[in-house]
Amino acid sequence: MALGLHHDLPTILREKSDNFTRPFVFKSCFDDEFISLSDVYQVLNNLPSKTLYHKNIRLYLGPGLAPRESVSHYLKPILDGEGIEEWSSRVFGSYPFGLIINNCQLFHDPLSRRIATLCDQIYRLVGFPPGGIQAALFIGNYGYTPFGVHRDRDERFIIHAHLGPGTKTMTLWDPKYFRKTTGSTASFFDPDSISASGTHSEFGPGDMYVLPADFYHIGHTNGLSVGLAIAFVGLSNRQLLSRALELIRYNFRFSINLESEWFPSEKKCLREITASLFKSENYLQSKNMDYKLSDAVIDYQMLLRSNHGFRGAPEEIRINESVPTIVQIKAPFRLYWIKNTRSLRIYARQRIYDLSLSEIRSLGEENLMFEILEHLNSGRPLETARACQIRSVYQLLSSLLQWQVLDPEVGLA
């Protein structure tokens, strides 16, 4: 298995699930090299210290969602010699719980490369998801999923990699049947009453499960269960415009004041959205800003691609004063860039690095800069000694190391 995955995994998942539109269980298709409980332990150990990312955590105690202010009390690391079952008994006792860690790769960056490598193969078959991907760990002995029978409205499909130790059963219902039976499209909290009419799939450690879009569904853990869910997310034009405006508000938060009413919601009709866009564009022009809504749309899409679909940038790390003698890009991540008459904008794992073209041209560094970008994207190691004598190159490589785009260990072996 390459990277711990069945050699033809994406193709088989696609064919057997009818292009990810039908449920399918692929038995024993990955091993610990892809993801293991040791990776989960690393995530759990990093939870207490990475407070910046705690907004990604949801904890259910019994049937209810725990208050956000109480969640940190349960974020306990694994002790030496403990397994996942001993940890859950120590932290939660006999109480049923469900710990959901969205964007779990933010708590253990090596996971991001492995997940991205699998997704890269799937992108080649079905295209890049316009809303990117979201990776989440589901840990618990909660029985039925605490938030009931539901439908994921934005996801195109989800791939679930199960780690055990217990098995999990997923039950699906056709949307028309569900609405007719329950009389509603809202989440339903009595799954046993309609269980007989659903489609059931059970999977265990080493299995992958395809959960197609649009079906109402609920999971059920048989004992303590740990799984990685990778959601391939769609994106409507409304959502794209809203995220572009949010990006503008974030980038220029000290100099502009975008009105919340300008953000396109599902409740707004096309006429209202068009009017909102004109207002936001006119406002940007009134502030003499050389940045348009169309620029923000491009930035959003390029940032997403530079992080291989992940919507959260990895944590910045400290590096030594000197750049390692050899660096290499963390494949399958790659750099993207846009060149205009005045600047070179580089997108790197959900972050932006801007260079003045006039400055690097005046120093005769433009061609070298593009050579280095192309070299890094080739995946080949880059010897930095000569390149780092150029100030602009040194600053770029330093930033890419801090942003966890480059692997510094290549030069330290």
For the chain, give every domain's residue range.
9-233, 237-306, 326-411
Structure tokens at 285: 């022009």
pLDDT of residue 413 exceeding 60 = no
The better pLDDT of the pair 321, 369 is held by: 369
Query: Which amino acid is residue 382, in one-letter code?
Result: L
Average pLDDT, integer, range 257-275: 72
d(CA 245, CA 71): 31
Average pLDDT, integer, range 366-390: 91
pLDDT of residue 113 exceeding 70 = yes
pLDDT at position 2 is 64
pLDDT at position 385 is 85
Q: Are 100 and 63 in contact (CB under 8 A)?
A: no
> If DSSP codes are grouped into helix, strand and coil, which group holds residue 190?
coil
Q: What is the end-to-end Cα distance of the chain in Å, rounded?
A: 26
Question: Which range scores top for mean pLDDT: 44-53, 202-211, 314-323?
Answer: 202-211
pLDDT at position 255 is 66
pLDDT of residue 411 exceeding 50 = no
Average pLDDT, integer, range 190-218: 95
pLDDT of residue 1 exceeding 60 = no
Q: Which of 48-62, 110-124, 240-254, 328-342 has the lowest mean pLDDT?
A: 240-254
pLDDT at position 412 is 43
pLDDT digits (tens, 9 = 90+) for 305-340: 999 999 889 999 887 767 888 999 999 999 999 998
61 burial level (CB within 10 Å; 0-12, 13-18, 19+): buried
What share of the chain has pLDDT > 90, as a percent? 67
Q: Are 216 and 152 in contact (CB under 8 A)?
A: no
Considering the entire predicted model, what is its pTM? 0.90
> If DSSP codes are grouped into helix, strand and coil, which group holds residue 123?
helix
Write the CA distances from 411 to 114, 301, 382, integer angstroms.
Answer: 21, 32, 9
Q: Which of 32-36, 38-42, 245-249, 250-254 has the lowest mean pLDDT?
A: 250-254
Average pLDDT, integer, range 243-259: 76
Structure tokens at 340: 């205009």
- Average pLDDT of the chain is 90
pLDDT of residue 263 exceeding 60 = yes
pLDDT at position 219 is 95
Beta bridge partners of 228: 137, 161
pLDDT at position 408 is 80
One CATH from 3.40.50.2300, 2.60.120.650, 3.40.50.12780, 3.40.640.10 for 9-233: 2.60.120.650
Q: Are 98 and 224 in contact (CB under 8 A)?
A: no
Q: Are 174 and 215 in contact (CB under 8 A)?
A: yes
pLDDT of residue 116 exceeding 70 = yes
pLDDT at position 253 is 67
